[in-house]
Amino acid sequence: MGSEDVKLFNFHASPFGQRVIWALKLKGVDYECIEEDIFNKSNLLLELNPVHKKVPVLVHCNKPIAESLVILEYIDETWKQYPLMPQNPYQRAHARFWANFAEHKLLVAARIARLSSEEEQEKAVNEAREAMEKIEEEIKGKKFFGGDKIGYLDIVIGWISYWIPVWEEVGSMKILDPLKFPAINAWITNFLSHPTINDTLPQRDKMVVYYHSRRKEVSPS
């Protein structure tokens, strides 16, 4: 599969786009990554994703697919090597449930926390920690959510390992306490130690600069 057949429109600090990168890399799919300026989006991106007008967008054989969770399932169904989703229907449903939970409970709360301050931030941090407690129970006793190897749910929740520490720094807060969440902390170590994951991480300093700028836009004070 040549890189001309697969293109990924992405932004380096996007946790959603990073999911797609991890999936493509784990499956050994060659692709061309096109960096978008999210403050000045290209006409092509707007044509490829006219509904949400966001990255990531995967283009395969000139057909665009938007939304990271949808893209992950498309990738898994298109390239059969290194299956991401469990083969068992119940286990697939279970993985989708936790992906949805993390997306709507943890990610939303963590995002609000990094952009807010005082009471609003404290409330969001507490909500994020409550979501973490549920995820802690789910990962207990496992190397990865997918078992002995990285799977769909690891990729979906993988942003926790790298983005949350950046957001904590930017927001001067603490969501992920290693002492309170030892199982998640162990999973993070395993996840980031995987060569495919580690070799594709965006530059942390660039992420910090970007997220600091977004916070200042929302909370100039």
CATH number at residue 53: 3.40.30.10
Angle (CA) 93-98-104 rounded to 5° is: 125
pLDDT digits (tens, 9 = 90+) for 114-133: 999 999 999 999 999 999 99
Distance of alpha carbon 36 from alpha carbon 158, whole angstroms: 22
Is residue 34 domain-resident? yes
Domain end position, chosen among 78, 101, 131: 78
| Pair 72, 96 in one domain | no
User: Domain limits at 146?
Assistant: 89-218
Beta bridge partners of 8: 33, 58
Inter-residue contact 139 to 176 (CB < 8 Å): no
Question: Quick one: DSSP state of residue 144?
Answer: B
State pTM to two decimals: 0.95
At residue 3 the predicted structure's pLDDT band, cuts being 50, 70 and 90, is: very low
The reply to whether 111 and 147 lie within a common domain is yes
**pLDDT score of 146:** 85
The answer as to whether 163 is a domain residue is yes
Residues 77, 27: Cα–Cα separation, whole Å: 11
The angle subtended at Cα 108 by Cα 104 and Cα 109, nearest 5°, is: 115
30: tokens are 């060659």
- Model confidence band, residue 2 (pLDDT cutoffs 50, 70, 90): very low
pLDDT at 221: 54
* Structure token digits, residue 101: 């939970």
pLDDT score of 220: 59
